[in-house]
Amino acid sequence: MANALCCIVSMILMLCFLAPAQGVSAPDKIRFPYSPISWNSLPWWMAKDGGFFEKNGLDVELFYEGASSAIVQAMLAGEANFAGLAGPSIVSNVVNGGDVIQIAAVVKTFTIPMYARAAITEVAQLKGQKVAVSRFGSISHIAALNIFQKSNVTGVTLIQSGGTPESAAALMSGAVAAAMVPPPQSLMLREKGFRELVSVKQFREWNIPVVENGVAARRSFIDKNPSVARRFIRAAFEGIHAIYTDKEQSLRVLAKYTKVSDDKILAESYRFSVEALSKEGFMPPEAFTALLEQMVGQKSVDEATSKKLPITAYFDNRFVTDLDKEGFFKKLWQ
């Protein structure tokens, strides 16, 4: 009898130890390529270092991939199902049959300022001049085209520099009259006497529909794993909330990932963050319509093929909508 009782007690204890382990599921592993190494990527860094990915049952490996086109190719090759990017690369991949789409927007304004020689005080003075952008078809290129369109300026020659540092160098050397340059290089230009000809504030006032950065995903993956998509977006916006509410931690995270120790540069990067990061993730369809029209005009995508696709082929708002319906964004910013 005693032996039987001991066996029963032992089984009960074993079940007590096993039950919690069986009830806890392993976090979903996600490889997350992103670009650039600047304030634009702060939401991912804050979500990682603040434990928001872990809180949402995600084990996220962040890694810098470089150009957006390279990130998309890596995703299509099966190396990742989510990424931090937006813009022309999303459109190009969909038009060419890829399934990488936008599922949340974190920056919904152009944030790459235009800097010019000190003697140039208005955009009209750039007529007949050379202006540097990082690459043709990039966000800096699209932003520059919008500046000239809004300012009714024609006759400008756009030069492909190869990258932001190269654009800044071209302006300092006198090879171009203006250049599209974000932080930290923009701070260096300003300290050397170059003029911020078009600012982020000006872009916001123009209210140009755009998604400059956000969460991208493979449609084939999120259709089968909608919970993972919702949890990733939730974690990203919890990271954004932390940026707005914890400046000191944000500055520490910026310094950690950018390897920058200059307080002025870090402060400038943080200023851009709180001026540009969205507090909700909805993607305006008109942003994709405008981008597609510009890319067709540049002949960077095939017009006939693009006309066969609905504008919703490039994005999916359902996960952001689900979070909004459950009151996530409202509670987050109360």
Give the tens place of pLDDT for each residue, 250-266: 999 999 999 989 999 89
**Residue 296 CB partners (closer than 8 Å, separation 6+):** 303, 306
Whether the predicted model's global pTM rises above the 0.85 cut: no
Where are the domain boundaries for CATH 3.40.190.10 in the chain?
A: 28-109+210-332, 114-206
Task: Give the dihedral sign, CA 286/290/295/297.
Answer: positive
The CATH homologous superfamily to which domain 114-206 belongs is Periplasmic binding protein-like II (3.40.190.10)
Burial of 284 (0-12, 13-18, 19+ CB in 10 A): middle
What is the full DSSP assignment across 238-296? Answer: HHHHHHHH-HHHHHHHHHHHH----HHHHHHHHHHHHHHB-SS----HHHHHHHHHHHH
The CATH homologous superfamily to which domain 28-109+210-332 belongs is Periplasmic binding protein-like II (3.40.190.10)
Residue 38 confidence (pLDDT): 87
3-class SS of residue 224: coil
Contact present, 274 and 243 (Cβ < 8 Å): yes
- CA 178 to each of CA 19, 159, 184, 315: distance values in angstroms, whole numbers, following the listed order: 65, 10, 17, 33
Type of residue numbered 109 = T
Percent of the chain exceeding pLDDT 90 equals 75
Residue 69 confidence (pLDDT): 84
Residue located via tokens 């870090």 = 266
pLDDT digits (tens, 9 = 90+) for 97-156: 999 999 999 999 899 999 999 999 999 999 999 999 998 878 899 899 999 999 999 999
- Name the pLDDT band for 333 (thresholds 50, 70, 90): very high
Q: How far apart are CA 211 and CA 101, in angstroms?
A: 12
What is the full DSSP assignment across 111-134? Answer: ---EEE-TT--SGGGGTT-EEEES
Residue located via tokens 């872990």 = 54
Q: How far apart are CA 246 and CA 41, in angstroms?
A: 16
Say if residue 96's pLDDT is above 80.
yes
Residues 237, 238, 242, 243, Cα dihedral to 10°: -10
Instruction: Calculate the average pLDDT of the chain.
Output: 90
Rounded to the nearest 5°, which phi and psi values hold at 133? Answer: -125, 165
Q: How far apart are CA 196 and CA 174, in angstroms?
A: 16
Rounded to the nearest 5°, which phi and psi values hold at 88? Answer: -55, -35
State both tokens at 303: 């017009």
